[in-house]
Amino acid sequence: MLIKDIMKKNIYTASKDNTLGECAQIMAENKVGSVVIVERGKAINILTESDVIRAVWRFNSLDMPVKDVLDKIKKGKSLITVTQNVTYYQCFQLLHKYNIKHLVVVDERGELKGIVSYADFIEFLNDFSVKDHLTDVYNKRFLEFSLEKFKAEKTKFSVIFIDLDNFKEVNDNYGHRTGDILLKEVGAFFKKNVRKTDIVARFGGDEFIILAVNTPEDGAFKLAQKLLEGLGRRKWQVLGHTFQIRFSAGVASTFGKIHEEDSIWTVVELADKALYQAKASGRGKVCVYDKTMAGERQWSLR
C-alpha cells in the first residue's frame, strides 16, 4: 500500500515571513496539527502545534516571524520527507525512528504533494477499516499492511490460501443470507484454531488467507491439514439447514524462497497457484508450492 493512496492532499502552508500567530490561526481554523513551510513551491520545513506551544512558552509572543522561530527552536533539524511511492509501513517506521508526528510527501522534483500523520495511522488501524464487515476477520487492506510490515522487518512466514469448495451452491440453493452466516461461522472457526500471532483475513468472496508467522512450509501444511480436518468434522446448522464444509488450500513460504526484490504479493501468488493445483486435483486437499534446488518450480501435492 503506497502512501500516495492514503496521504492527505489538502495541505495547509505558510511562508517564512508569516508570523507564528498566523500559523496558529491556520491550524485552529482548519483543525490540523501542522503547517508546511514552503519556499518557491517546495517544502523547506514544518511547523507543528507542539512547535507553536514551545515557541509561545519560550518567547511569549505570537508576532515572531516563522523564519526566526525555526532558527531558534528547530535549528539544525532538516525536514524529513518521503516520496509518493513509499509504502505506508515505511512511513510508520520513519515516524517512529525520528519521534515525529508528521511526514511531508513530495514528488521526484521535491514539490509538495501531501502529508501523513500519526492520526492517519489511528484512522487506518481502527476495526472498521481493517476488519471485514461480514466475517470479522481482517480484510485485504490489513493483509497488505501486514505483508509490507513483514517484508520491512524481514519476518519469515507462510501463506495458506483457502477457497471453500463449492460454496457458490450454498448461495444459489439456500440464499445469500445463509451463505453470509456460514462465512462468518467459518471465519470464526479459523480465528479460534490458529495462534494469536497468526493473521486470518478474508481475501474476497469465499476465499481466506492465513499468514502463519515464523512458520516454515511444513508447519503451515500441518496447520492447513488440521483446519481442513476440523472443518470437515463439523456439521454447521444455519437457518434450519445442515451443512458440511470443506476447502482446498495452497501453501507457500518465504523461508529460502522469496528474494529481496520480490513483490510483497509474490508468496501469495505462489500460494494461489498451489491452491489452483489443489482444486484441479479433486478439491478438499492442501497443496504446497515448491522449487527444486536448480531453481525450477514444481508442484508438491501432499
Q: Is 73 exposed, middle or buried (0-12, 13-18, 19+ CB in 10 A)?
A: middle
Q: In whole angstroms, what separates CA 253 from the centre of its chain?
A: 19
Q: Which residues are catalytic?
A: 206
Strands lying side by side in the sheet with 207-213: 199-204, 207-213, 157-164, 247-253, 286-291, 297-301
- d(CA 225, CA 207) in angstroms, rounded, equals 16
Kind and range of the H or E run holding 158: strand 157-164
Collapsing DSSP states into helix, strand and coil, what is residue 237? strand
Which amino acid type is present at position 44? I
User: Of 33, 35, 73, nearest to 54 (Cα)?
Assistant: 73
- Measured in degrees and rounded to the nearest 5, phi and psi for residue 93 equal -60, -40
